[in-house]
Amino acid sequence: MKVIWAPWRIRYIEAPKPKGCFICEAAKSDDDRRNYVVYRGKNGFILMNLFPYNPGHLMVATYRHVGNLEELSKDELHELMELTVLSVKLLKKAFKPHGFNIGINLGSVAGAGIEDHIHIHIVPRWLGDTNFMPILADVKVVPQALEETYSKLVNAVKDLLKG
């Protein structure tokens, strides 16, 4: 049997789970690197998923703590989609994926880990990025560290905003 090490996961497993909303904490903080905030807009922002399905797994969220789509203003809805498009552009520039899964999970039964703060998942996909590990071992291997992914994305933001 091959052993695949993912030592960073133990911090999540053993850590006390936060009582507040980590999206709100990231929105309020001015330490974007620590919170993996990639880009800030007027009504929302782009941040990395700390437990990604694939390298570059991003989330787009509003600054306002809202759990239902129908509670969002037209400006918030519009900017969420603009930030989703920007996320796709950033990921294409930084990682050249072959495709994307983009979605919103509304409610815990739909898979929402955070029910009370709307966010859109943008997951880059590559041909062959799934293998036997999730099927046989219920394990997903993410081949890039968060810090390295963050640096590539921030550089892609700078490049896109120049042009």
pLDDT tens column, 96-129 = 999 999 999 888 887 777 889 999 999 999 887 7
Rounded Cα distance between 52 and 101, Å, is 12
Give yes or no for a contact between 47 and 59, defined as CB atoms under 8 angstroms apart: yes
Burial of 6 (0-12, 13-18, 19+ CB in 10 A): exposed
Catalytic residue among 57, 65, 78, 119: 119
Q: How high is the pLDDT of residue 139?
A: 56
CA atoms within 13 A on the CB side of 159: 12
pTM of the model: 0.78
Q: Which tokens belong to 114?
A: 């955070």
Instruction: Establish whether 119 is a catalytic residue.
Output: yes
Cα dist from 94 to 5, 19, 55, 112, whole Å: 25, 33, 11, 27
Give yes or no for a contact between 123 and 53, defined as CB atoms under 8 angstroms apart: yes
Q: Under CATH, which number does the domain 18-28+37-158 receive? A: 3.30.428.10
Rounded Cα distance between 62 and 21, Å, is 12
The DSSP annotation for 86-105 comes to HHHHHHHHHH--SEEEEE--
Rounded Cα distance between 39 and 94, Å, is 14
Rounded Cα distance between 113 and 106, Å, is 9
Low-confidence ranges of the chain (pLDDT < 70): 1-13, 17-18, 130-143, 163
Domain ranges, ordered by start, for the chain: 18-28+37-158
Q: How high is the pLDDT of residue 135?
A: 42
